[in-house]
Amino acid sequence: MTRAHATSASLRDRLRAQLADLKMPGALEALDDVLRRSDAGELSAPTAIEQLLGAHITLRNARRLQTAMRSARLPAIKTLADFDFSFQPSVKREQLESLHTLGFIERKENVVLLGPPGVGKTHLALSLAVAAAESGRRVYFTTLADLLHSLEDAQAAGRLLPRIRTLVFPSLMIIDEIGYLPITRNGAMLFFQLMSRRYEHASTVLTSNKGFEEWGEVFGDELMAAALIDRLVHHCHIVNIRGNSFRLRQHAELARRLHQPPPQPAGRRSRRQEDPAE
C-alpha cells in the first residue's frame, strides 16, 4: 500500500506525549500497533489516523457507558444490533435505526413503545438509552413505579420541586412499565407535573403494555390521562409492537430442548437434531 518507513524514536515519543496531553488513552494504547503497521506499509496515513481516533472513541464510549450504567441506573445493556427484527415484523427497522441516530433528542421529541409483555419494549428503550449515553448525553432510567415512589418520598419530605427539577435535567429519561401497577391519584398528579415540565424541554421514552385508550384507567383519571397523552404525542414517535413474546419463544425453545428424545447412536440421528439452527 504505502512505502515501508520506520517512525523515528523521537517522533514516536512526541506522539505519545501529545496523546497523553490530549488525554487520549485509547489512542495511546493503540499507537504502537498502528505505527508498526504503518511502518510496515500495511496502513496508509489516513487509515492510521482513523485507527487512532477510532481507538480513542471506542474507549471513550465504553467509559461513558460505564458511568451511565451507574448514574443512569440502566438495568442492562441492550443494543439495536442484538434486536432480532425478523422475530418482530411489526417493528420497522428504518424507524428504529433513525431513532438511534438520536435526532429526536435534539428536537426534544418523545418515543412511546407500546405492546404486550415480552415483545422487546424495554430492550429497545434500553438500546436508545445506551446510544444516548455513548453520545455523552445525560440519561436516566426508571420504572414508573420507582419514579412515583421517589416523587412521593420527595413530596413527603417537602422537597418535591427540587426533585422534579433534577428529573427535568437529563436529556433522555426512560420511564418503563406504564400500566403494570395501579397508580394512586396523587401518583398520577405527580407524574403529570413531571411530564409537563419535561414537555418541549427534554425527551422521554415511555413503554406501556396498555394502549392509550386504556391510560385513563391506568391513571385513574380520564381527563388527566387525556391531557398527558396530548402533551406526549404532540412531538412523538410511536412504536406499536404487535407480536409474540420473545420470552415465551425462549421458554418454548428451552422446553423443546428439555423434551427432546435422548441422543441416538451415530448414524441414526433424527433430522431435528441435525437442524443447524439448534
Ligand X SMILES: Nc1ncnc2c1ncn2[C@@H]1O[C@H](COP(=O)(O)OP(=O)(O)O)[C@@H](O)[C@H]1O
How many chain residues touch Mg ion (CB under 5 A)? 1
Closest residue to Mg ion, judged by C-beta, is 122
Per the CB < 8 A criterion, the answer to whether 183 and 152 are in contact is no
Of 172, 53, 173, residue with least CA distance to 102: 172
Instruction: Work out which of 56, 64, 100, 123 binds ligand X, going by CB under 6 A.
Output: 123
Which segments of the chain are extended strands (E)? Answer: 110-114, 139-143, 172-178, 203-208, 236-240
What span, in angstroms and rounded, lies between the C-alpha atoms of 142 and 107? 22
197 contacts: CB under 8 Å, gap ≥ 6: 164, 165, 167, 168
How many chain residues touch ligand X (CB under 6 A)? 16
C-alpha cell at 155: 413530596
What span, in angstroms and rounded, lies between the C-alpha atoms of 242 and 120? 11
Residue 117 makes contact with ligand X by CB under 6 A: yes
Instruction: Work out which of 42, 83, 227, 231 binds ligand X, going by CB under 6 A.
Output: 83
Residues 123-152 that bind Mg ion (CB under 5 A): none
What span, in angstroms and rounded, lies between the C-alpha atoms of 75 and 201? 25
Per the CB < 8 A criterion, the answer to whether 241 and 91 are in contact is yes
When CB distances are held under 5 to 8 angstroms depending on the partner's kind, the choice from ligand X, Mg ion, none that residue 88 binds is ligand X
Between 108 and 237, name the residue whose CB sits nearer to ligand X.
237
Cβ 3 to Mg ion shortest distance, Å: 56
Pick the piece of the chain touching ligand X (CB under 6 A) from 48-56, 116-124, 157-165, 220-228: 116-124
Residue 122 makes contact with ligand X by CB under 6 A: yes
When CB distances are held under 5 to 8 angstroms depending on the partner's kind, the choice from ligand X, Mg ion, none that residue 118 binds is ligand X
At residue 201, the 3 state secondary structure works out as: coil
* Binding track, positions 2-31, relative to ligand X; x by CB under 6 A: ------------------------------
C-alpha cell at 25: 488513552
Pick the piece of the chain touching Mg ion (CB under 5 A) from 55-63, 116-124, 130-138, 198-206: 116-124
Residues that bind ligand X (CB under 6 A): 78, 82-84, 87-88, 115, 117-123, 246-247
